[in-house]
Structures are given as C-alpha cells and as structure tokens.
Structure 1
Amino acid sequence: MAMSAVVPRIHIVGRRNSGKTTLVCELVREFRRRGLRVATIKHTHHAHELDTPGKDSHQHREAGAVGVGILSAEMTAVFIPTTRDTDETTRYARLQSAFADCDLILVEGDLHATAVKLEVWRAEVGGAPYADTDSSIRAVISDEITTDKHDVWPRS
C-alpha cells in the first residue's frame, strides 16, 4: 500500500461475548495468509490507564508531555492523551498514520464509528442485532439468523 493512501478500516462490532475478538483474530490470520499486512485497534468506551503509573513514560505525561513514545528492542508504543470530546476523525487518523504501511486496519468495537461496520451476532448472547436499527452496519455475521432486513454472512 502506498504510504500516502488512507488505510481502509473495518469495524467488527457486536454485543459482549458475541465473538468479536475471535473473529478479528481469525480474519488477521486469514488476511496474513493471503499476504496482507493487517493492523488492529481495540476500541473501548471505558477509561483505562494504558501506561504504568510510576514508570518514566507515565511521569513524562504527568509532567505535561502531549505524547509519549516508548521504544524497546522489539516493540514501540505511543501514548497520546485524548478526551472524550476528541472527534473520531482525529483519534483514528493518529493511529491510521502509524499503520500507513498496512493494507487494512481491523477495529474491534466502536459501534458509533462512521467507517464500515460488520456485526457479529449470537442468539445466546441475547438482544436483537444492532443492524436491525442501525443501517450503517453493512452485514451481520451469524449462523443463527435469517432475515431480509440486512445482509447475513455465515460465521462458519
């Protein structure tokens, strides 16, 4: 993929324990098998401290750094503080630029994103598919549902 192009992003959404993580991992393995470079993003609506309090990098942020990077022999991490009112475009653009050498970005979660969304649905989890009321979801991935409200792709 050209470094200047925006890397396509697909969100895998669904209720808790619907199989989102399992599907994302299976897709990563399959796309890698086909020679694609795939990055993933895990979206959460919970406020988590991702850095380790007391460590140097955390102290840098506490001192007021607008971003902190960590480089080790085998891993790179970047912590960029955001607020709940930071718009979606800005938040995803920051990560998309870090993944500019990839062919695809899979995001686990973020039902409210404006990018392409696919929903994983299982009857045992409960609740109707989000796609029943959210036309922005392109398809439901399930072996347990038949409907003409939206496209359904088999899970197996």
Structure 2
Amino acid sequence: MEISYYYYYYYYGYDYYYYYYYYYYYYYYYYYYYYYYYYYYYYHYYYLLLLLLLLLLLLLLLLLLLLLPLLLLLLLLLTTTYYYYYYYYYYYFYYYYYYYYYYYYYYYYYYYYYYYYYYYYYYYYYYYDYYYYHYYYYNYYYYYYYYYYYYYYF
C-alpha cells in the first residue's frame, strides 16, 4: 500500500511535470507559430511592396524609353534655337558695339579736329586782333607824329 502510494505520487508528479512540459512546449509552439506568421506576412508585404516599386520603376523606364525620341528632339530644338539666338545676339551685340565704337571714335576724331580748328581759329583771330591792334596803335602814332610834324612845320 505504501509502495503503491509512493508509486502513485511519483507517477502523479511525473504526469504533472510532463503536463507542464507539454504546456510550455505548446506555448512555445504557439509563439513560434505566430512569430513565423507575422514574420512571413511582414516579409511577404515587404516583398510585395518592393515588387510594386520595381514594377513602377520599370513602367517609368518604359515611359522614358517611349518618350526619349521626343525628349531628344525637344532638347535638340531647344539647344539649336538657343545657340542660334545666342550667336545671333552675340554677333548683333558685337557689331553694334563695333559700330558704336567706330562712331564714337570718329565723333571723337571730328570733335578733336573741330576743337583743333577752333583753337587755331581763335589763335589766329587773337593774333589778327593783336596785329590789328598794333597796326591801329602804330597808325595812331603815325597820325600823331604826322600831326605834330605838320603842326611843327606849319
């Protein structure tokens, strides 16, 4: 009786430990299952999102390849018109500047010669006035001496 009691007690304890072992194993399996489930679906959606992004990128690349001739034509048109207008305005500005410089130079040249002639004209006029004054002065003295001469002799 005592032996069967101890046997039952140890059997019951073994069953108890076996039960808790099964319980922990079950919960370990349960958490492992849910961990695997979320991990799988998380990476599933992650890969799905990555696949969607890749498809979108391929679609954009295809659209770019389809629009590439048009874009190249537009770029060529823009660059040629840009260079055409650039060179046109460059040469226009260059010639405008050249003629402006040319006219400025000749204007300065004529102005200089005008000033030069004006200066010499003034110079000659001054000397003319000077000689005229002296001529008048000498003439005056001539008349003066003549007058005294006449007065003296007569």
TM-score between the two structures when normalised by the length of structure 1? 0.13
Q: Which has the higher strand share?
A: 1
Greater Rg, structure 1 or structure 2? 2
Q: Which has the higher contact order (CA 8 A, sep 6+)?
A: 1
